[in-house]
Amino acid sequence: MTDYTPPVSDISFLLNEVLGFESDVVDTETAEAVLEEAAKLARDVLAPLNNVGDVHGLKLGDDHSVTMPPGFKDAYDQYRDGGWNAVPFDEEYGGQGLPWALAFGVQEMWQGANMAFGLCPLLNQGAVEAITVHGSQEQKDFYLEKLISGQWTGTMNLTEPQAGSDLGLLRAKAERAEDGTYRISGQKIWITYGEHDFAENIIHLVLARLPGAPDDVRGISLFIVPKFLEDGSRNDVKCVGLDHKLGIHASPTCVMQYGDAGGAVGYLIGGEHQGLKCMFTMMNNARLCVGLQGVAIAERARQQAEAYAADRVQGKSFESGERVTINQHADVKRMLMSAKALTEAGRALTFEAAISLDGAIAGDEAAREKVDLLTPIVKAWCTDIAQEVTYLAIQVHGGMGFIEETKVAQYYRDARILPIYEGTNGIQAADLAFRKILRDGGKAAYAYIDALEAGLPSDEKEVLGGYINELRSAIGKLVETGAGGDLDKVGAMSSPLLKAFGIIAGGILLARSGSIAKGKGGEAFYDDKVKTAGFYLGNILPLAKANLEIAVNGSAAL
Ligand SMILES: Cc1cc2nc3c(=O)[nH]c(=O)nc-3n(C[C@H](O)[C@H](O)[C@H](O)COP(=O)(O)OP(=O)(O)OC[C@H]3O[C@@H](n4cnc5c(N)ncnc54)[C@H](O)[C@@H]3O)c2cc1C
């Protein structure tokens, strides 16, 4: 089964009724129409190719070309010609200038329909942002329009065999040339969409080190390295290998070789030794979007589990003694409700961050602090949710879940990369603890928690208020531990604290959703929201307590 129903009503309800999304550029009706149109492409074109990509995989030619699976090139053409690549970008360069919150709604559908396909625009987005923020006027004029339209695509080249989480170890070299350009050499591994047949040109954003540069992260610089140069000639960069992977078989994960014939022509972006700053611009929104991928794949997996459970007859009802479909058994209901509640809570937190991202771009400093704080939580917590929900989706299928023919195993395999790339979830936890909490003494975290508390639905104040107080006190403990200099302990506290933060913040947003839905009454859609929120508060929220306990006390044993 490959059916996928894009969750348009869920996204609209969340944005408009729960999170209070407002925009000067787009009214509610237009936003809805954009989501409905995206849903068609996702459901009718991208979703049916998801398993085709898994089964066929990719082909690396002797000429270093990569052939995408059948149907993918045509799907990309439809995606590009529909203007979908341009949704959130600058109108000056052909973008549609729509808010990120809406772009996230659209993007959830690409990722849910076909995550291996959706990675191409996700990586391109990082390149567009890096050039928009750090590029010279000339670079913006030359690259942005084509990257925004999707005529060209972009990549991020950070990783090398000895330099993964620790980019201070990277060795790729950049030499100054007399004409003001640079010559890049070295090898990058695991470069997503480093080569493919979607686009006329591929624009690589490559981190490399200049001669004499400091030998840590302060010594790295960022370069634009196009596959084809301005005069149409081929640059000295090629894909020399494709990795065989557990999942996302249709996403080319490339070994890229630079400079075999004397050095690839590269153009410096953002100044010498400014690579780290530029890299964070590339990575930050991408990290949020990886969290969104987690939500998206969880949604698709849980939809399939629900459909299977409504059809599979096994066992008898305790009440009637009749044989029933498995969705009548309490334990299967538990799995399906867990999958739904986790997915919806993850979505709520991700879109909360996306709305703050719009605020931050508009210059609101408080919104900037909030999105910075939420980014590692969204990335790590939502990608962990994807592990749990895809696991549950297989479990609901029983033995059939383990059989590839059902196609539910693909979501489980595909989802496994999410906690690893764009900074492992361990690195996200460290980012939260050290950079987002310790650095300002917890100010941004407390501000966000205060805002959550102020928005608590009155009927859940008592229960949720207790969790909020415990979260505050764990953050206080982290700050105190950091101030006392026990940084190993801060590191040990970081993952369980992040998890608890996600569970509590997501739970409060879901409680808000339930409370708003209760006010509507009657319709199945709203009743469902009330039920989901109730389930979350009783069955998932308590896990936050255990994680806070582990964060504060368990780490002492490490
Ligand atoms: C399918 C795929 C696609 C990818 N796409 C791209 C891409 O497009 N561009 C690109 O540049 N890279 C890409 N990557 C690379 C990816 O970003 C790295 O794999 C990731 O950053 C982790 O690095 P590593 O694999 O070397 O793991 P390591 O850094 O060796 O980490 C191993 C373990 O140690 C932990 N760890 C490491 N350092 C610390 C620390 N300081 N504190 C706490 N824990 C730590 C990690 O959390 C992890 O659990 C891709 C990888 C894959 C598999």
Cα 396 to chain center, whole Å?
A: 25
CA of 164 to the centre of ligand 1 (A): 5
Torsions phi, psi for 399 (to 5 deg): -60, -35
Residue 417 CB–ligand 1 contact under 6 Å? yes
Contacts of 399 (CB under 8 A, 6+ apart): none
C-alpha torsion 130→133→139→143, nearest 10: 50
In order along its 558 residues, the chain shows pLDDT tens digits of 458 999 999 999 999 999 999 998 999 999 999 999 999 999 999 999 999 999 999 999 999 999 999 999 999 999 999 999 999 999 999 999 999 999 999 999 999 999 999 999 999 999 999 999 999 999 999 999 999 999 999 999 999 999 999 999 999 999 999 999 999 999 999 999 999 999 999 999 999 999 999 999 999 999 999 999 999 999 999 999 999 999 999 999 999 999 999 999 999 999 999 998 898 888 888 999 999 999 999 999 999 999 999 999 999 999 999 999 999 999 999 999 999 999 999 999 999 999 999 999 999 999 999 999 999 999 999 999 999 999 999 999 999 999 999 999 999 999 999 999 999 999 999 999 999 999 999 999 999 999 999 999 888 888 999 999 999 999 999 999 999 999 999 999 999 999 999 999 999 999 999 999 998 877 999 999 999 999 999 999 999 999 999 999 996 666
Task: State how far the Cα of 109 lies from the Cα of 105, in Å rounded to an integer.
Answer: 7
Residue 157 CB–ligand 1 contact under 6 Å? yes
State which ligand 1 atom lies nearest to the alpha carbon of 251. Answer: 1
φ/ψ region of 330 (left if φ > 0, alpha if ψ in -120 to 50, else beta) reads: alpha
Residue pair 477/499 in contact by the 8 Å Cβ criterion: no
Task: State how far the Cα of 295 lies from the Cα of 346, in Å rounded to an integer.
Answer: 6
Q: Which of 507, 369, 528 is nearest to 448 (CA)?
A: 369
pLDDT at 1: 45
Residues recognised as catalytic? 422
Q: Which of 474, 451, 286, 279 is nearest to 370 (CA)?
A: 451
Q: Ligand 1 pocket: which of 190, 216, 251, 498 to mutate (most atoms <8 Å of CB)?
A: 190
Q: Which of 375, 342, 384 is nearest to 506 (CA)?
A: 342
Residue pair 378/288 in contact by the 8 Å Cβ criterion: yes
CA of 427 to the centre of ligand 1 (A): 9
Tokens describing residue 537: 């508060």
Contacts of 317 (CB under 8 A, 6+ apart): 324, 328
Instruction: Say whether 246 sits in a helix, a strand or coil.
Output: coil
Residue pair 19/351 in contact by the 8 Å Cβ criterion: yes
Q: Which of 16, 188, 22, 204 is nearest to 99 (CA)?
A: 22
Residue pair 418/13 in contact by the 8 Å Cβ criterion: no
Contacts of 200 (CB under 8 A, 6+ apart): 151, 152, 228
* 305-329 CB burial, b ≥16 within 10 A, e <16: bbebbeebeeeeeeeeeeebebbbb
CA of 383 to the centre of ligand 1 (A): 15
Tokens describing residue 113: 């329909």
CA of 190 to the centre of ligand 1 (A): 10
